[in-house]
Amino acid sequence: MKVVFLGTSGAIPTLYRNLPSSALVNEGSLILFDCGEYTQVQIIKASLKIGRIDKILISHLHGDHVTGLPGLLMLLNHASREKPLEIFGPAGLKNYVFSNKRILNFYVGYQINVTEIEAGEVIEGRGYHIDTFPLNHTTFTLGFRYQEDSKPG
């Protein structure tokens, strides 16, 4: 398992720190946590395989955590993605994703599944699950805890 910090700045990017985003890579799959502006370039710089993104989890809908999402969705299409993409986050995320898609008039050749979740819901994956919990912030914000399923031995 490897965690790659793609952006650690808050609200305002600097020359050395981009807006919030991190990637968890485990057994060939990649889970992206938040998607601040410039995330797609950071993924390329980190030599992560963009086609391995299985899930994107958005903590909250402040701009610095989601402004990279439209560009990333377009990049995935240019990379000939075919498998569905799962995106999870708070209420309003579905409207954000599909309004941007409509307003920016971009096509994707893969299915985008956006699931709006509340704190306490569990996101299931192959060999792991992600617990969600509320964080104290100026807007509804989700925290995420990744846990591998028990293995024999």
Q: Answer yes or no: are the C-beta atoms of 71 and 35 closer than 8 Å.
A: no
34 given a catalytic annotation: no
Counting Cα atoms < 13 Å in the Cβ hemisphere of 25 gives 14
Residue of 34, 64, 131, 149 with catalytic role: 64
Polymer length in residues for the chain: 153
Helix (H) or strand (E) holding 27: none
Dihedral of the CA atoms 70, 41, 53, 51 (nearest 10)? 100
| Catalytic positions | 64
